[in-house]
Amino acid sequence: MQALRVDPVPPGWQEGWLVLRVKEKLPGDFVSIHARAEQALEDAHLRGPGHQVFHGRHREATGEIVVD
C-alpha cells in the first residue's frame, strides 16, 4: 500500500472548504472558507443558487484559489 503524500500548506494560504459563486467556468468567485464541510454547506445554502462547496486553498493576499 502506497502512502498518500500530503503537501504542506504554504505560508499565506488557508486550506479548507471553499464556498464559491460558480459561473460558466470553474473555479468561480471566492466567497468564504471553512474548516468543516458542514459549515461550508450551510453557508452555501444560505447564500442561495449558484453557490457550491469545494475543498481547496485560498491565498488572502492575492485572492488566488486552488480547488482540489
Task: Encode pLDDT of 31-68 as tens digits.
Answer: 999 999 999 999 999 999 999 999 999 999 999 998 88
- pTM of the entire structure? 0.82
Cell (9 digits) for 5: 503524500
Predicted local confidence at residue 5, as pLDDT: 53
For cell 450551510, name the residue.
Answer: 42
Distance CA(17)–CA(53), nearest Å, equals: 7
> What is the band of 6 on the pLDDT scale with cuts at 50, 70, 90?
low
Distance, in Å, from the CA atom of 47 to the CA atom of 45, rounded to the nearest integer, reads 5
Query: Which pLDDT score is estimated for 68?
Result: 86
Residue 2: the pLDDT is 58
